[in-house]
Structure 1
Amino acid sequence: LAPMLERTTSAVVNISTTGKVVVRDPFFNDPLFRRFFDVPRQRRERRISGLGSGVIFDADDGYIVTNSHVIDKAEDIVVTLENGQRFDATVIGKDPGADIAVIQVEADNLTEIPLGDSDDLRQGDFVVAIGNPFGLGQTVTSGIVSALGRSGLGIESYEDFIQTDASINPGNSGGALVNLRGELIGINTAIYGSGGNIGIGFAIPVNMAKQITAQLLEHGEVRRGRLGFVVQDLTPELAEAFGVAHKKGVVVARVEAKSPAQKAGVRVGDIIVSVNGREVENSAQVRNEIGLLRVGAQVQIEVLRNGKTRTLTASVGKQLKQTVSGKSLSDKLAGAKLSEAPEDPSRGTAAGIQVVKVEGRAASAGIRKGDIIISVNRKRVKTVSDMKAAIKKNPKTLLLNIQRQRQGLFILIR
């Protein structure tokens, strides 16, 4: 491995960040205390720091790819090269949905890493992880590809992970997963469980990272497309019920009215077997394929219908997701940004109101980013209008039933 690493490690950098978060004094914000003492709400700032890794993919322009969570809330970002040189970095764009970000440094004589093709990976291939675990400095570990196409883990919104037993620890996030030719085939992003490595780590495939970084460089954000259907995995029981011998694919469970999918002729009960010529095995894969397409792109969808194969062509539409202020619904939800979220079988989430951003009073009440509000005051809510109606009936108290990472809980806000 040494000759390959001599060509590769200089393209992997250490990233350190500092930032500020606003915290509330738990004593002064206690409702019982405030009942007897009229004091203003106490807010104070706390400095936070973080460590991670990144990979230089464009040496001429100084572009570095890393994880979005590595630079989240960062005010200052410092990149340290393998030779010890340090540079301030600026954020070009980030995509929390896939946990990818691009930052830039102004430096000469950088080394970029060659990009591989993650579609060529096979289970059992040898891989090497390079990063900055625990802030110790650049570290190399090796292992194999344990599995491909891991999804439904609840780690990111868009999941298609490479699973590896190469040691990935805190601080490795954003680092490189390379093959034996020294080509980048993944961006290290997560470990299974909390704490340190237990032999199960995950990396974002480089082919997904390529598509995301291209949009981040062009727009500063990822403008995901939409077709307007809901799918679920094709289980053996469903395959038997539909009378098909095909063992791979997804079933269309719902088609939105006037959506690109409906206009293309997609129907409920269709079994999607490929998207743009790529076979699909589960609903998460379809979500990733569609979500990474640009608005206006033409997509070929191969479906099984009544025992016959059909190829449908759809034009990718814009995402309909629009956010509303929580405060516009209730002062008790001040600080929250909300949007309508459809049912997503690939992630095990029901239709409801998703929390896309949270701070202030809503955060203090225990609401978290990514939560999906299923009911308000015991009334099922799927739209913002539903939520408005439920709050209007009893505005003094909000009893929220929330789905959080496949778990359910109640939050009471008075």
Structure 2
Amino acid sequence: MNTRQLLKGCVAAAFTLVAASAPVMAQVEATQQDYQVVQSLQRVFESVAEKVKPAVVNISTVSEIKFKHPPIPPQFRDFFHQFGIPFPFPNFPDSFQTRALGSGFIVKVKDGWAYILTNNHVVAHAKKIRVKLSDGTVYRAKVVGTDPKTDVALIKIHVGNKKVPVLQLGDSDKIKVGEFVIAVGNPYGLNWTVTHGIISAKGRHGLGLNPIEDFIQTDAAINPGNSGGPLCDIHGRVIGINTAIVRNAQGLGFAVPINIAKKVMEDLLKYGKVIRGWLGVYIEDISGELAQKFGVKEGVLVTKVMPGSPAEKGGLKSGDIIVEFNGKPVKNVADLQLKVINTKPGTKVKITVIRDGERKTLTVKIGQMPGSQQLASADLLSKYGFSVQKLTPELREKLGLPKWIKTGLVVTEVKPGSPADDAGLQEGDVIVKAGTTPRNMRPVKSVDDLLAVLRKGGDSGALLKVIRGEGVIYVVLNPQE
């Protein structure tokens, strides 16, 4: 008898033994109460779907990528002419368009405008944004503002007197792992798809998706096209914005907590920029050995304090272990970062540290994160498609500008196909005056001066006085349609 025959005999004997010893299973029948429980849960999902779907929108974007002719040195161009080949190449394409789909949801209606939350990556670099409502109507959307750090964007459509549904925003700080959730979106263009699952985890960070991460993890089915759609609780309240998935994996979806998105939205509407708190320290998580030595369970180690920062002014020192922020425990680096950036600049907070084995509480006045203004400028200027830099004496000399031009903004980048490109702005142009009409034009001394004019101009745009080389031109800059 060979090995295979022996194995077959053993398996057969085992099955015979199990069959002989196993009790006879009675037929299972569900009771009426069992059906009522399942039907109750089913009605909850049906109710949420009916409540949420009308406020979810389909977002389609068109982006244009422009080509430049290949940079070939002049000495090599004769080669093409010898063979009768014209240069630049006449058939070389100037541009091509890309299209993308995403989701969003209506959160506010004011003065005839419906405001929609979505992901930044859904609308970033889009030349045209169209929004389709659940009733089939389509609108051209405008970008109110974006925040690449959290991947949140706010857009708006003009609906006039039309009544459109608005979703209620929940509190993502109160959600718990294991709770049922419902996701609604447009995966692969399959409009208003509803899926459900549970909250698998909270506070996911270190994924490398966004500079600021505090994701809700869910196993509700999320696919390409779901980005920007709502993740809701069983009451239909939005607790997150579906943002990312892990490729080639199942049940691994991530959403931006709605409390983070709410702050971004409120800042964009109120200030036109995202304002974040700043402490000014380099920090790292405490290892198990360090925690044992210092006698702490949680906290972060301060490795360096920036000179002149709020932390230095408040008395923080390198080697301190931050264990509490305004009375709340500090778990890790990501936890402290979120606590700080969500604190309004100018707020005085109590920070508890362990220093030389002793517990010490310091009062620190939170500052504004450096670069917030530059980020805000990028958010507002992005819909015009250009970047600027304040004119300095070095730049004035480099550009060969007359000495009488002492203030202005130098255009450092113009995106192909953007409103700035359409208006004729070029890199190296110097914006010296701006206004909404020729009569109210004023000198531009800072980025704030330009931003104020652009905000005031709104949909009607702005008039710019520009120095280009030795000449002066006027440019009418209109926002993205």
TM-score normalized by structure 1? 0.72
- Aligned 8 A contact 1:234 1:247 in 2: no
Of 216, 235, 239, which aligns to 2:291? 239
Deviates more, 1:275-284 or 1:143-152: 275-284
Distance 1:43 1:264, change over 3 A: farther
Partner of 2:393: none
The alpha-carbon deviation at position 188 of structure 1 amounts to 0.6
Aligned residue runs from structure 1 range 207-218, under 5 A? 207-218=259-270
Partner of 1:304: 354
The alpha-carbon deviation at position 43 of structure 1 amounts to 7.7
Partner of 2:204: 150
Report the secondary structure of 2:54's partner residue: helix
Report the secondary structure of 2:94's partner residue: strand
The answer to whether the aligner puts 1:166 opposite 2:216 as a matched pair is no
Aligned residue runs from structure 1 range 1-150, under 5 A? 1-24=45-68, 28-29=70-71, 36-37=76-77, 44-60=94-110, 61-107=113-159, 108-150=162-204
The alpha-carbon deviation at position 316 of structure 1 amounts to 2.1
The alpha-carbon deviation at position 197 of structure 1 amounts to 5.7
- Equivalent residue letter for 1:124: G
Distance 1:34 1:166, change over 3 A: farther
Distance 1:8 1:148 in 2: 23
Report the secondary structure of 1:154's partner residue: coil
Of 334, 342, 350, which aligns to 1:284? 334
Distance 1:13 1:76 in 2: 16
The unaligned stretches of length 5 or more in structure 2 are: 1-44, 79-86, 375-385, 390-412, 417-481
Report the secondary structure of 2:173's partner residue: helix
The alpha-carbon deviation at position 97 of structure 1 amounts to 0.8
The alpha-carbon deviation at position 245 of structure 1 amounts to 3.1
**Per-residue Cα deviation, 1:310-348 (whole angstroms, up to 9, x for no partner):** 33222222333498xxxxxxxxxxx9999xxxxxxxxxx
Identity, in percent, stands at 43
TM-score normalized by structure 2? 0.62
Distance 2:56 2:118 in 1: 10
- Equivalent residue letter for 1:10: P
Partner of 1:397: none
Report the secondary structure of 1:63's partner residue: strand
- Equivalent residue letter for 2:77: F
Aligned residue runs from structure 1 range 213-292, under 5 A? 213-240=265-292, 243-292=293-342
- Aligned 8 A contact 1:212 1:292 in 2: no
- Aligned 8 A contact 2:291 2:298 in 1: no
Partner of 2:396: none
The alpha-carbon deviation at position 359 of structure 1 amounts to 7.8
Distance 1:337 1:44, change over 3 A: farther
Report the secondary structure of 1:118's partner residue: coil
- Aligned 8 A contact 1:4 1:180 in 2: yes
The unaligned stretches of length 5 or more in structure 1 are: 324-334, 339-356, 361-414
Aligned residue runs from structure 1 range 370-389, under 5 A? none
- Equivalent residue letter for 1:142: H
- Counting helix residues as a fraction of each chain, which structure ranks higher? 2
- Number of residue pairs matched by the alignment: 324
- Aligned 8 A contact 1:168 1:197 in 2: no
- Equivalent residue letter for 2:314: A
Distance 1:358 1:148 in 2: 40
C-alpha RMSD of the superposition: 2.7
Distance 1:56 1:302 in 2: 41
- Aligned 8 A contact 2:116 2:156 in 1: yes
The alpha-carbon deviation at position 105 of structure 1 amounts to 1.4
Distance 1:318 1:40 in 2: 49
The alpha-carbon deviation at position 300 of structure 1 amounts to 2.9
Larger radius of gyration: 2
- Equivalent residue letter for 1:112: V
- Equivalent residue letter for 2:240: G
Report the secondary structure of 2:259's partner residue: helix
Distance 1:21 1:219, change over 3 A: farther
Distance 2:220 2:194 in 1: 9
**Per-residue Cα deviation, 1:115-167 (whole angstroms, up to 9, x for no partner):** 11111111111111111111111111111111111111110010000111111
- Counting strand residues as a fraction of each chain, which structure ranks higher? 1
Distance 1:224 1:358, change over 3 A: farther
Report the secondary structure of 1:112's partner residue: coil
